[in-house]
Structure 1
Amino acid sequence: MMFRTLDGTCNNLEKPMQGAAFRQYIRRVRHFPPQYDDGKGEPISSIIPSRPTARESNRVMLSSAQMVPHDKFNNMMMQWGQFMSHDMAKTTLQPSAQCTSCAPVRSKCMPIPITLKDPNSAFKQKQCLKVSRSAPICHVTPREQLNENTAYIDGSMIYGSSPKDLHKFREGRTGLLKMNRFNNQKLQIVLPFDQSKCPHKDKCTASFTAGDIRANLFIGLSSLHILFAREHNR
């Protein structure tokens, strides 16, 4: 094949579906199966409490005020790692609208309880953090997850992983990526704004449209998306 396919199919001609978009994640360490409390799909420690909650672990491990500077790398090292991970993986989630209470909804919602020891008073008032679970692969036990992106380093986060993405991001027949001039400034060329967040054509929330919907998570991540889109069009 001279050119890659959008969904990653036929990248490996002997195994044409390997690494394609919308396929099951493959666990590389087969001697260590997924750990579920019931052996099928209930999250670890959800039935038999055996571990601290995700919030408690996060609070304890990341609560240090001490700064540890690195003599070689800065925060962009982390940001590049996130950018590349978004090229290879995007887990499908259950609709968050289904998770509106602190009561767990089997197979769909996994609320994280907030303990009385939590120093964040706002968190305590919420009583829990409402979290959607990853969507399961149908008819597979134990529960496995779906990858929406191709598993290859092929620019999925820039170009998308489906023909629908192609028409969403490409500029007509030129092959260029769609861009937008911020406040009509010639030199401030950025990604297009998400039109679903534009109450009026002249008033948009600064939420960019890119090959991966997570492009707006951090300013550094958005910067890399803009940089690579500009480089494609250069």
Structure 2
Amino acid sequence: MQDTYILSFNSPKQRGKNGGYLPSPRKVSNKVLAADPITPSEMKGNLLLFAFGQFIDHDLTFTPVGIGEDGNPLKCCGKDGSDSECFPIKIDPGDPRFSSNCMEFTRSVPVPYNDGCSIGYREQMNRVSSFIDGGMIYGDSILFNENLRGTLGCLRVSRGNLLPAGGMCHLNETGDFCQLAGDERVNEAPPLGCFQVVWVRLHNIITPKIRYYSKMLSQNVYLETKKIVGALLQQVTYGEYLSLILSKKTRKSLDLDLKPWGFWKKYDRNVNPTVKNVVATSALRYGHSQIPKHLGLKTKQFAVDKLFKTEDVLMNPHIVVTKNGENLPGLTQFLLETPAKKVDRQIEDGVRNELFRDANGTAFDLAALNIQRGRDHGLPGYNAWRKWCKLPEARTFSCLYSHDPDVRKRLENTYDHPDDIDVFVGGVTETPRDGALVGPLFECLLGHQFRDLKQGDRYWYETIGVEGFKYKQLQEIRKVSLSKILCETLGLKKIQKNAFLVPDYKTNPIVSCSSLPFIDFSKWAPQRSYW
């Protein structure tokens, strides 16, 4: 398959430093990323941390892949390589999980170079806006946005205060329906669908308060509510999420921490906030190492009620939509109290075998897909990005100082040269340091990306000016935590103070929801003073 490709502006990355072909992504997945029978847990972070990572990723990136003329997915296995949009993954004989010799893979849609007026290197598109602005809730197009809007400034909901019906998914239970959201990937996994419901409900909780106090027209009520929801997304991401992903040192050096008071005045019109290819294609996918083997529901007494194999509930919204959403509190409680896996080389076999299927029912290995996607996008290797981050490069496998000895040996037995290591593989297998959840390379790439997203956002919620909030309004927004948002939208009575950490009676106690502050919307009443 690979021999049919020729070096050109359009070809994917296929050869290593010494000129030979890179190992098959499936081979790398088997030799480096296969999980041991017992995978270690992250003792602080819970599964809600993992779920939020996917949710916020869908606000930032969506790279479409090629489809056939009939609108259906391309079938690339068995072709002779004449289709330039195909880049199938080779499966070696004797593979422990796959019986076929090929895994389907379609290349990402290219952007016309120079508006199609000249030939240039293939580049990929991001179909959504590169901002934390709630695009996965509201949509990133006028058509999507209008289809989701209800009346009086609210968003449309269905019975049970759930998302409206629509979208693509697998249904196998009577009464279930596919969910429609601002992002078409809403049905990928139950935790993602749950978060989508939470934030739509939050919008509809805020809307009547803004309408009552501000006396705005419905169109302006909708826009003001959307602005508040976007602010809360930014606040949760930078104030709670990133504080667990990145070390304190990195956050301080890149000015990622939020201000407890006052306005933030460092917007820079010269900063490009676009999500970088390496971040969208590799660094933001670190969470694939954390995909749990099981998801479940907990009762009000905090006992596990049901467990589901994760691979069995993907693209199936049954857990979220059945019985008017009665499972949502139990699913959320399970996510709140279950430790997440560490970010390491071990990716569960459940997402690396033939049983793991995409929205079209095609079997695939998620780790192998990530590797192939990086090669499809022509990403430089692990060492090149270490150099960009001013981290030591490895000239030999023994010099991979951010990896433990077992991982070094696995990489040496798989790649011909350290320069050949795919950036996703090298990054996800690093050992974290300084209290970060990810290793040094991904910490660098993610840190710089979130810095650019903040500094390059004219509508950043802490900004002074007509784009921002009045100071008293900003102080009200600063009161709100993700724990309070979950309480307000799911009817919870108790929750831990930090929603992203497992409960601990000393460091993260469970408290009454009524003790957590929410917004005083009277600050949106008409007033002359900017303060």
Q: TM-score under structure 1 normalisation?
A: 0.70
1:177 to 134, 143, 155: 155
Structure 1 residue 214: deviation in Å?
Answer: 0.8
Structure 1 residue 100: deviation in Å?
Answer: 4.6
Tell me the SS of whatever aligns to 2:50: helix
Query: Do structure 1's residue 163 and structure 2's residue 142 form an aligned pair?
Result: yes
2:122 to 133, 140, 143: 143
Cα distance in 1 between the residues matched to 2:52 and 2:104: 29
Asked if the contact 1:88/1:153 (under 8 Å) is kept, the reply is: yes
Question: Which string of whole-angstrom CA distances, capped at 9 and with x for unpartnered residues, describes residues 26-78 of structure 1?
Answer: xxxxxxxxxx9725221222796532222222233133222201111022212
Q: How do 1:115-126 and structure 2 match up within 5 A? A: 115-120=92-97, 123-124=98-99, 126=100
1:102 to 55, 58, 78: 78
Partner residue, 2:104: 130
Query: Do structure 1's residue 63 and structure 2's residue 35 form an aligned pair?
Result: yes
Structure 1 residue 81: deviation in Å?
Answer: 1.0
Cα distance in 2 between the residues matched to 1:130 and 1:107: 14
Structure 1 residue 170: deviation in Å?
Answer: 0.7
Q: Percent sequence identity over matched residues?
A: 27
Partner residue, 2:511: none
Q: How do 1:40-79 and structure 2 match up within 5 A? A: 40-45=9-14, 50-60=21-31, 61-79=33-51
**1:136 is matched by which residue type in structure 2?**
P
**1:180 is matched by which residue type in structure 2?**
S
Cα distance in 2 between the residues matched to 1:54 and 1:93: 18
Q: Decide which structure has the larger Cα Rg and report it.
A: 2
With over 3 angstroms needed to count, the CA separation of the structure-2 counterparts of 1:106 and 1:192, relative to structure 1, is same
Q: Please, which runs of 5 or more residues in structure 2 have no aligned partner?
A: 115-119, 206-531
Question: Which string of whole-angstrom CA distances, capped at 9 and with x for unpartnered residues, describes residues 184-209 of structure 1?
Answer: xxxx321112177799xxx6653211
1:228 to 175, 186, 199: 199
Query: Do structure 1's residue 113 and structure 2's residue 85 form an aligned pair?
Result: no
Query: Do structure 1's residue 208 and structure 2's residue 184 form an aligned pair?
Result: no
Cα distance in 1 between the residues matched to 2:170 and 2:91: 35
Greater percentage in helix: 2
Structure 1 residue 150: deviation in Å?
Answer: 0.3
Partner residue, 1:193: 165
Structure 1 residue 167: deviation in Å?
Answer: 1.4
**1:163 is matched by which residue type in structure 2?**
I
1:153 to 132, 147, 156: 132
Structure 1 residue 105: deviation in Å?
Answer: 4.5
Asked if the contact 2:76/2:88 (under 8 Å) is kept, the reply is: no
Asked if the contact 2:59/2:128 (under 8 Å) is kept, the reply is: yes
Tell me the SS of whatever aligns to 1:73: strand
With over 3 angstroms needed to count, the CA separation of the structure-2 counterparts of 1:64 and 1:198, relative to structure 1, is closer
Asked if the contact 2:113/2:121 (under 8 Å) is kept, the reply is: no
Structure 1 residue 232: deviation in Å?
Answer: 0.7
2:56 to 84, 91, 111: 84
- Name the stretch that deviates more: 204-213 or 130-139: 204-213
With over 3 angstroms needed to count, the CA separation of the structure-2 counterparts of 1:79 and 1:196, relative to structure 1, is closer
Q: Please, which runs of 5 or more residues in structure 1 have no aligned partner?
A: 1-35, 182-187
Cα distance in 1 between the residues matched to 2:15 and 2:166: 37
Q: TM-score under structure 2 normalisation?
A: 0.33
The number of equivalent residue pairs is 186
2:190 to 183, 207, 219: 219
Question: Which string of whole-angstrom CA distances, capped at 9 and with x for unpartnered residues, describes residues 126-163 of structure 1?
Answer: 32111111000113521101111000110011101111
RMSD: 2.7
